[in-house]
Structure 1
Amino acid sequence: MLPLEDALDGSGWRRIYIDLPWAAGNADTNVSSADHVAQSALNDIHKCLGDRPFAVIGNSFGGMISRHIAHVLRDQVLGLATLAGVYEPTHQARSLPRRQVVREDPSVLALAGHVREDYEEMTVVQSQATLEAFTRYVLPGLRGANQAILERVAAEYALSVEPEVAHPAPFEAPSLHLFGRQDHVTGYEDGWKLRSHYVRGTYAVLDAAGHNAHLERPDLTAALVKDWLARTRASAQ
């Protein structure tokens, strides 16, 4: 999430980043399912904010957890945003585009060195800028993650009940649902299926963007996040 910091500077929003259980430095508390992760995040929010209102944003798996938070704490949540979020937890059931690299650059891959495999696996726009962003913002999380916890959660990757099923009333707070057109990991069509539930949702599918859409289309992502925050602030007044 840190690539968005520049976009949020001066926005007036206080940012609180919640580490998921497998983040480097966290003690292993035997978290073993998406439900456990979601409850842990809710506990952290309660400790940090009590009953104060807030907006929530999440990337990838964090997008699914953010949807859960936004529905469980609906009366407290001012807005929801997901970036390349998980909407269909079962990988085999996802509607995914074919793997496609829209901009190839062998010189960038050569520069990647020992991070090439990780970088090449996800990136659909090969450039020095995306390599630098991947190395700075993504790679530390990949290398520092507790694999034992990740494997346990991966075995119970779905929430016991999807947020929109557990709380079927339309979600009326401002929301943003941003996807990469070439995201072969979570796709975009599964998220679009829920568009009638998010009655104040902006939906955006960005071309030349994969699962790291906010790294490959940083300016457009920043503009959409700023717009979401402005809508959220206006709605809360």
Structure 2
Amino acid sequence: MDVKISGVPVHVVEHGDGMPVLALHGAGVDHREMAGALEPAFRDRPGYRRIYPDLPGMGRTPLPDWFRGSDDTFDVVLGLVDALVGDEPFAVVGHSFGAYLARAVADRRPERVAGLALVCPIGEEIRDVPAHAVLHGSTGVADALSPDEQAQFRDYFVVHTPAMVERFREYVAPALPLVDGDGLERISDRWRLSDAAADAAPYPGPALILAGRQDSTVGYAGPWELVARYPRATFAVLDRAGHALPHEQLGLFTALVAEWLDRVDEHRTA
């Protein structure tokens, strides 16, 4: 379905009923990546309404000419919360740039955010990032992909196996031709939110922060520094995982998300 926010028709896919869980994908993909990562955690867990939007400039959501930075994207995200969630408590999950936006949602709506999960989160400062290197796999595994897809796969994944190629094909590759490259470049020039709440009160709810030990995009040192802002955070650094952690460590990712949801439920009913 499409939901019009500030004149922007935002494409949204929903699954299930119950407490809303807003899932925000990273840059250069669309809702399919978050759905592919998160849906296994909800397979035997009813009572959650999963909301997967395509962020502006990706998937089936256009990026208007008047967008100038992340502030405009974040306004759309808050508009989605108001339009689809209303006054209900909800959880929010974000990957990469989506995690940056998710943090801002928790800062703006702390009384309504029942839980916050950050996967390979981009922070205000990115430092101590390792060089990209293939950790495991075999050469030629991605030969069946197109040249452009091969380049994207090799830059994103540190585990090169047939299973990872299939996940790339299903959850990442279909979004690549739908990206508004010029529009996202415009956003990236002003990717920091103008009123990021650096001095806001720490978010008090159950949180989860996951980092990839081999993440050559944001590293794991920067995400660790976020722990001080989240007194109820579980922090985990996963080996054999880069920025594509939700794919490369799907089993651990699913288990840690399930444990986080247990804490969210406990917190809500306390």
Shorter chain as normaliser: what TM range?
A: over 0.9
By relative contact order (CA 8 Å, sep 6+), the higher-ranking structure is: 1
Residue 71 of structure 1 and its aligned partner are, at CA, apart by 1.0
CA–CA separation in structure 2 for the residues paired with 1:174 and 1:50: 21
Give the secondary-structure state (helix, strand or coil) at the position aligned to 2:61: coil
Match of 1:96 among 122, 129, 135: 129
Could you tell me which amino acid in structure 2 is paired with residue 131 of structure 1?
V
Match of 2:172 among 138, 141, 149: 138
Q: Which residue of 2 aligns with 1:52?
A: 88
Q: Which residue of 2 aligns with 1:188?
A: 220
**Whose helix fraction is larger, Structure 1's or Structure 2's?**
1
Give the secondary-structure state (helix, strand or coil) at the position aligned to 2:51: coil
Matches within 5 A, 1:21-40: 21-29=56-64, 30-40=66-76
Match of 2:51 among 16, 19, 22: 16
Runs of 4+ in 1 over 4 A off after TM superposition: none
| Contact 1:21–1:31 (8 Å) recurs in 2 | no
Residue 112 of structure 1 and its aligned partner are, at CA, apart by 3.1
Residue 113 of structure 1 and its aligned partner are, at CA, apart by 4.1
Give the secondary-structure state (helix, strand or coil) at the position aligned to 1:194: helix
CA–CA separation in structure 2 for the residues paired with 1:72 and 1:9: 30
CA–CA separation in structure 1 for the residues paired with 2:136 and 2:145: 16
CA–CA separation in structure 1 for the residues paired with 2:155 and 2:260: 30
CA–CA separation in structure 2 for the residues paired with 1:27 and 1:145: 9
Q: Which residue of 1 aligns with 2:253?
A: 221
Instruction: Report how many aligned residue pairs link the two structures.
Output: 232
Q: Deviations over 1:84-110 (max 9, x none)?
A: 11113x5xx532122221113113132
Is the aligned partner of 1:174 residue 2:206? Answer: yes
Residue 81 of structure 1 and its aligned partner are, at CA, apart by 0.4
Could you tell me which amino acid in structure 2 is paired with residue 75 of structure 1?
E
Matches within 5 A, 1:74-153: 74-88=110-124, 93-114=126-147, 115-153=149-187
CA–CA separation in structure 1 for the residues paired with 2:43 and 2:67: 34
Q: Deviations over 1:117-151 (max 9, x none)?
A: 11111110100111110111112222211112201
| Contact 1:64–1:85 (8 Å) recurs in 2 | yes
Residue 173 of structure 1 and its aligned partner are, at CA, apart by 0.2
Could you tell me which amino acid in structure 2 is paired with residue 28 of structure 1?
L
Could you tell me which amino acid in structure 2 is paired with residue 202 of structure 1?
T
Give the secondary-structure state (helix, strand or coil) at the position aligned to 1:15: strand
CA–CA separation in structure 1 for the residues paired with 2:140 and 2:180: 32
CA–CA separation in structure 2 for the residues paired with 1:104 and 1:112: 16
**Unaligned 5+ runs, structure 1:** none
- Structure 1 31/10 Cα, relative in aligned 2: closer, same or farther at 3 Å? farther
Give the secondary-structure state (helix, strand or coil) at the position aligned to 2:159: coil
Q: Which residue of 2 aligns with 1:231?
A: 263
Residue 197 of structure 1 and its aligned partner are, at CA, apart by 1.6
Q: Which residue of 1 aligns with 2:104?
A: 68
Sequence identity, in percent? Answer: 34
**Whose strand fraction is larger, Structure 1's or Structure 2's?**
2
Deviates more, 1:67-76 or 1:148-157: 148-157
- Structure 1 129/211 Cα, relative in aligned 2: closer, same or farther at 3 Å? same
Give the secondary-structure state (helix, strand or coil) at the position aligned to 2:223: helix
Q: Which residue of 1 aligns with 2:27?
A: none
**Unaligned 5+ runs, structure 2:** 1-33
